[in-house]
Amino acid sequence: MLDWAKAQAGIMRYKPENILLYDIIKESIYIIRNSAEAKNIDLKVLCDKSTEVFADKSMIAAVIRNLVTNAIKFTERNGEVIVSSEKNNQDVIITVKDTGIGIKEEKFSKLFRADFDFSTFGTENEKGSGFGLSVCKDFIQKNGGTIKVKSKQGEGSSFIITIPLSKQN
């Protein structure tokens, strides 16, 4: 949320560069791994180590941290969270998938909106701010990408983001 506030205030500038996606994902997960360990959640990264994207490193790291933190928050003990990626012609598609409690379809339209307080308690009463997904949407759009959700209550959720592949020098 602090990164988003800085971006809104013009303090955090959009600085895209070619970055290795795998490194950003691993660093982001390393920061929050204790939350997963506390719930015995298996965190997996299934990404090509050589995939480069053209994006703002800080913004993409914040998005990955937020999505994985949410996945952990809404996944029961002994569950699983998988971060995967695949390339298409122009973009990289990153998916954060969990085996959590899922989201009711009627709530999808409110997930990415800053004008709704969409804070929900996690499986062990973890609390959030309610702003995380709107920040993710803002950061992904600033990087020329998209974000969407697929979820079924009781079966887990997948948050799918796209960001541009690296620019060739």
Residue-wise pLDDT tens digits, 5-35: 554 445 567 899 999 999 999 999 999 999 9
Q: Is 46 helix (H, G, I), strand (E, B) or coil?
A: strand
* Each residue's pLDDT tens digit, 92-119: 999 999 999 998 888 887 788 766 555 6
Average pLDDT over the chain, rounded to an integer: 87
166's torsion region: left (phi>0), alpha (psi -120 to 50) or beta? Answer: beta
Amino acid 1: pLDDT: 47
CB 85 within 8 A of CB 47: yes
Angle, CA 88 vertex, CA 86 and CA 92 arms, to 5°: 50
pLDDT at residue 140, as a whole number: 96
**φ, ψ of residue 23 in degrees (nearest 5):** -65, -40
Q: Could you report the per-residue pLDDT of 143-157, keeping only the tens digit for each?
A: 999 999 999 999 999
Contacts of 157 (CB under 8 A, 6+ apart): 71, 74, 97, 98, 100, 102, 103, 149, 150, 151
pLDDT at 117: 56
